[in-house]
């Protein structure tokens, strides 16, 4: 990209000491003044607790090539710093990412959904790996800053980009879709995560379907089959190609374009005559694998190249640990009701005695008590050998009442307090699931579990 691209977007720059040559290459883009090197373009972002414009002097001293500056902070620009005035530097950052994405002309895959976004992102990355190097979101790069950061990391050495898109309200995914202009969009599911903010699953479906707002007209939308609410939301906004996926015994499998048959062990998936290894445990992850297979097929990767995917997911997601005779299913990173129910089903499929530590699920609004009761009722229905609830207030009471039939039940306020009942219950060969919203910090319990049983 050249400086001329910025001139085309925002006009002639200010602070120039001479004529600007539009053909001059644009330096690497940096949003952190502490890491800025000479020749880079500085974009000072503004958040609730920070304002990068405070570091414009520092950026100039470090030899910044130029900067983008919000009009309302023009007074912060040091003399001699080449700069463009923009209405909002975060939006300008997204525009830079779009310009870069258009210049590279790499296929872009965008992933959203109420649960399983990160896992599906990593499955797609692995499924596309036969094409060559794949750039993808890392950690929590699924927001207004993270998505453009991922796009801007992509280079000519890459063969595709996979971006994860999260949201907490309407309009957020629409902005991210505008920055990415995806060739393939994936919606993993419509659940109840953030229902406290959006009010209903219908509103959540509307928000997730914003991913199609800038999906290329010839592009492909990949969704799970059999969800009438999702189908209705999609029909309102997308008239292009759709690939629906399902396991053979799922409701709606007869509507699917891509169907997989899971063997009784849950480890092998038959798809169009090919046997695929399911790299992550659980039926929900077999469905996520089908979403990834559909994406890879669209981008020209044959099924035969995907028979054994190597997938690494971030900590606290789909992590299986062996600790002193105890099998630990570490799902501490986050939790929605749908994800907790899926994790409980996975736990129930394990041999031996099965225990769970379940913490509060946040941002569920008026439906919070009913949804907390629902997951506790599932723990009872699955016949778990014990449950520790890490919660307080009405949610704790709701879960405790619903789980009362269990022979072993404890309710504690903090993760560390769960160690005491578990120490009394657990035996060698047991399986323990840990699942809660990020704010609970349930991972604090792990070092307190017995090292030997």
More confident residue, 433 or 139: 433
| pLDDT tens, residue by residue, 410-451 | 999 999 999 999 999 999 999 999 999 999 999 999 999 987
Same domain, 20 and 122: no
Tell me, what's the pLDDT at 53? 96
DSSP three-state, residue 86: strand
What DSSP character marks residue 398? H
Lowest mean pLDDT among 111-115, 190-194, 384-388: 190-194
Q: Which residues pair with residue 245 across a beta bridge?
A: 224, 258
pLDDT of 392 over the 90 cut: yes
Average pLDDT over residues 65-86: 95
Domain boundary among 281, 306, 331: 306
Same domain, 202 and 295: yes
Tell me, what's the pLDDT at 384? 98
Tell me, what's the pLDDT at 98? 97
**Residue % of the chain over a pLDDT of 90:** 85
pTM beyond 0.85: the answer is yes
| pLDDT tens, residue by residue, 269-313 | 999 989 999 999 889 999 999 999 999 999 999 998 888 888 888
Same domain, 352 and 291: no
Same domain, 390 and 265: no
Same domain, 112 and 140: yes
Domain boundary among 62, 87, 112: 87
Average pLDDT over residues 40-44: 97
pLDDT category at 323 given cuts 50, 70, 90 is confident
Tell me, what's the pLDDT at 297? 96
DSSP three-state, residue 435: strand
Same domain, 143 and 38: no
Answer yes or no: is 314 within a domain.
no
Same domain, 184 and 240: yes
More confident residue, 314 or 183: 183
pLDDT of 158 over the 90 cut: yes
**What mean pLDDT, rounded, does the chain reach?**
94
Q: Half-sphere exposure (CA, 13 Å, Cβ side) for 158?
A: 20
Answer yes or no: is 23 within a domain.
yes
Same domain, 229 and 122: yes
Lowest mean pLDDT among 13-22, 352-361, 392-401: 13-22
Answer yes or no: is 313 within a domain.
no
Same domain, 58 and 126: no
More confident residue, 91 or 309: 91
> What CATH code is carried by the domain that includes residue 210?
3.40.1190.10
Answer yes or no: is 311 within a domain.
no
| pLDDT tens, residue by residue, 165-223 | 999 899 999 999 999 999 999 999 999 888 888 899 999 999 999 999 999 999 999 99
Answer yes or no: is 267 within a domain.
yes
> What CATH code is carried by the domain that includes residue 73?
3.40.1390.10
Domain boundary among 306, 339, 361: 306
Tell me, what's the pLDDT at 42? 97
Answer yes or no: is 25 within a domain.
yes
Tell me, what's the pLDDT at 349? 92
Tell me, what's the pLDDT at 155? 96
Same domain, 215 and 246: yes
Write a three-state SS string for 143-195. CCCHHHHHHHHCCCCCCEEEEECCCCCCCHHHHHHHHHCCCEEEECCCCCCCH
b (16+ CB within 10 A) / e for 18-29 = eebeeeeebbeb
CA distance 440 to 134: 33
| pLDDT tens, residue by residue, 237-269 | 999 999 999 999 998 999 999 999 999 988 999
Answer yes or no: is 203 within a domain.
yes
> What CATH code is carried by the domain that includes residue 410?
3.90.190.20
Residues with Cβ within 8 Å of 80's Cβ and at least 6 positions away in sequence, in order, are 15, 17, 60
Same domain, 202 and 348: no
Number of structural domains the chain divides into = 3
CA distance 198 to 195: 5
More confident residue, 385 or 313: 385
Answer yes or no: is 272 within a domain.
yes
pLDDT of 31 over the 80 cut: yes
Tell me, what's the pLDDT at 283? 92
Which range marks the domain in which residue 169 is found?
93-306
Same domain, 106 and 248: yes
């Amino acid at each position: 990209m050249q400086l001329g691209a910025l001139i085309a977007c925002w006009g002639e720059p200010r602070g120039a000491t001479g004529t600007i040559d539009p053909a001059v290459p644009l330096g690497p883009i940096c949003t952190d003044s502490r890491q800025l090197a000479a020749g880079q373009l500085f974009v000072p972002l503004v958040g609730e607790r920070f304002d990068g414009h405070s570091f414009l002097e520092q950026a100039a001293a470090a030899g910044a090539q130029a900067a983008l500056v919000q009009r309302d902070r023009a007074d912060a620009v040091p003399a001699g710093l080449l700069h463009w005035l923009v209405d909002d530097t975060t939006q300008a950052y997204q525009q830079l990412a779009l310009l870069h994405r258009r210049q590279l002309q790499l296929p872009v895959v965008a992933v959203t959904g109420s649960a399983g976004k990160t896992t599906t992102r990593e499955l797609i990355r692995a499924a596309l790996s036969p094409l060559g190097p794949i750039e993808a979101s890392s950690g929590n790069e699924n927001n207004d800053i993270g998505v453009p950061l991922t796009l801007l990391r992509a280079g000519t050495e890459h063969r595709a980009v996979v971006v994860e898109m999260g949201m907490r309200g309407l309009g957020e995914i629409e902005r991210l879709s505008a920055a990415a202009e995806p060739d393939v969009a994936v919606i993993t599911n419509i659940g109840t995560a953030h229902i406290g903010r959006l009010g209903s699953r219908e509103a959540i479906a509307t928000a997730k379907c914003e991913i199609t707002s800038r999906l290329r007209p010839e592009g492909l939308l990949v969704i799970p089959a059999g969800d009438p609410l999702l189908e209705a939301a999609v029909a309102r906004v997308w008239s292009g190609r759709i690939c629906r996926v399902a396991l053979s015994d799922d409701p709606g499998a007869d509507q699917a374009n891509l169907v997989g048959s899971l063997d009784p062990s849950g480890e092998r998936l038959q798809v169009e005559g090919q046997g695929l290894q399911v790299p992550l445990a659980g039926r929900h992850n077999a469905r996520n694998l089908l979403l990834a297979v559909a994406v890879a097929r669209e981008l020209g990767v044959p099924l035969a190249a995907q028979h054994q995917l190597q997938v690494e997911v971030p900590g606290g997601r789909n992590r299986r640990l062996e600790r002193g005779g105890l099998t630990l299913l570490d799902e501490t990173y986050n939790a929605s009701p749908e994800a907790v129910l899926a994790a409980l089903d996975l736990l129930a499929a394990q041999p031996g005695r099965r225990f769970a530590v379940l913490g509060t699920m946040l941002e569920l609004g008026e439906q919070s008590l009913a949804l907390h009761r629902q997951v506790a009722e599932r723990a009872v229905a699955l016949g778990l050998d014990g449950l520790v609830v890490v919660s307080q207030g009405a949610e704790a009471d709701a879960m405790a009442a619903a789980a009362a039939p269990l022979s072993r039940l404890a309710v504690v306020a903090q993760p560390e307090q769960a160690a005491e009942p578990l120490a009394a219950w657990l035996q060698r060969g047991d399986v323990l699931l840990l699942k809660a919203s990020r704010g609970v910090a349930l991972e604090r319990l792990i070092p307190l579990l017995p090292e030997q049983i």
